[in-house]
Structure 1
Amino acid sequence: MSVYSVTGKGWRYDFTHMGTRYTEAWFKTKKEANQAEAEKRKEIKNPKPVLETPTDMAFLELVNQKLDHVKAYNSKSHYISYLYMARRWANLWGHLPCGELTGDMIQKHLYQRHKVSAYTANQDLRYLRAVFNFGVGQKMIYTDPTAGIRFFPVEKKIKYVPCSEDIDKVIAAADPDTQDYLWAIRETLGRVSEINRLVWEDINLDERFIILYTRKKRGGHLTPRKVPMTEKLHDVLQNRFNRRSPDVPWVFWHRFWNKRNGEFNIGPYKDRKRFMKSLCEKAGVRYFRFHALRHSGASIMDGNDVPIAAIQRILGHENRKTTEIYLHSMGDMERNAIAVFERARGKSHTDSHTTMG
Structure 2
Amino acid sequence: MPYKRNHKWYAQVRKEGQKCERVFLTKKEAVDWEVEMRKKPVSEWSGRTDTVCLNDWAQKYLDFSRPSFSHNTYVEKRSLFKRLFKILDPDMPVSKLKPALLMEYIVEQKEQRSGNASNRDRKNLVAAWNWGMKYMDPPLPGPNPCLVERMPEIRQPRYVPPDEDFWKVYALAEGQDKVMLLAFLHLAARRSEIFRLTWEDIDFANNRVRIWTRKRHGGTYEYDWLPMTKELRKSMRWWWENRPIKDKPHVFLCLDKTEFCRDYLGEPFRYRIHFMRRLCERAGVKVFGFHAIRHFSASLLFKLGYEVAVIQTILRHKSPNTTERYLRSIGLERVREALEDLKPSPARVIKLEERPKKARAAGKKKAV
- TM over 0.5: same fold? yes
Question: Equivalent residue for 1:64?
Answer: 59
| Largest Rg, 1 or 2 | 1
Q: What letter is aligned with 1:109? A: Y
Structure 2 CA distance for aligned equivalents of residues 50 and 60 of structure 1:
27
Structure 2 CA distance for aligned equivalents of residues 49 and 81 of structure 1:
44
Question: Equivalent residue for 1:23?
Answer: none
Structure 2 CA distance for aligned equivalents of residues 313 and 332 of structure 1:
17
Structure 2 CA distance for aligned equivalents of residues 256 and 97 of structure 1:
52
Question: Equivalent residue for 2:109?
Answer: 113
Question: Equivalent residue for 1:235?
Answer: 234
Residues 1:275 and 2:270 are matched in the alignment: no
Structure 2 CA distance for aligned equivalents of residues 84 and 255 of structure 1:
33
Q: What letter is aligned with 1:200? A: W
Residues 80, 268 of structure 1: alpha-carbon distance in 2 compared, 3 angstrom cutoff: farther
Structure 2 CA distance for aligned equivalents of residues 256 and 95 of structure 1:
49
Give runs of aligned pairs for residues 6-21 of structure 1, distance below 5 A. none
Note the residue ranges of structure 2 that are not aligned, 5 or more in a row.
1-41, 258-262, 351-368
Give runs of aligned pairs for residues 110-189 of structure 1, distance below 5 A. 110-115=106-111, 116-139=113-136, 140-143=139-142, 146-189=145-188
SS at structure 1 position matched to 2:267: strand
Q: Deviation string for 1:262-292 (max 9, x for gaps)?
A: x767432222243323332222222322222
Give runs of aligned pairs for residues 1-357 of structure 1, distance below 5 A. 51=46, 54-92=49-87, 93-115=89-111, 116-139=113-136, 140-143=139-142, 146-244=145-243, 245-254=245-254, 266-327=266-327, 334=336, 337-338=339-340, 340-341=342-343, 343-344=344-345, 347=347
Q: 2:254·2:264 contact (CA, 8 Å) conserved in 1?
A: no
Residues 256, 219 of structure 1: alpha-carbon distance in 2 compared, 3 angstrom cutoff: farther
**How much does 1:310 deviate?**
2.4
**How much does 1:144 deviate?**
5.5
Structure 1 CA distance for aligned equivalents of residues 54 and 275 of structure 2:
39
In the comparison of the two structures, how many residue pairs are matched? Answer: 300
Q: 2:312·2:320 contact (CA, 8 Å) conserved in 1?
A: yes
Q: Deviation string for 1:24-65 (max 9, x for gaps)?
A: xxxxxxxxxxxxxxxxxxxxxxx9896557422222222122
Q: Deviation string for 1:190-249 (max 9, x for gaps)?
A: 111111111000101232111001111123221110111122211221122112333200
TM-score when scaled to structure 1?
Answer: 0.74
Residues 222, 336 of structure 1: alpha-carbon distance in 2 compared, 3 angstrom cutoff: closer
Structure 1 CA distance for aligned equivalents of residues 92 and 173 of structure 2:
51
Q: Which sits farther off after the overlay, 274-283 or 226-235? A: 274-283
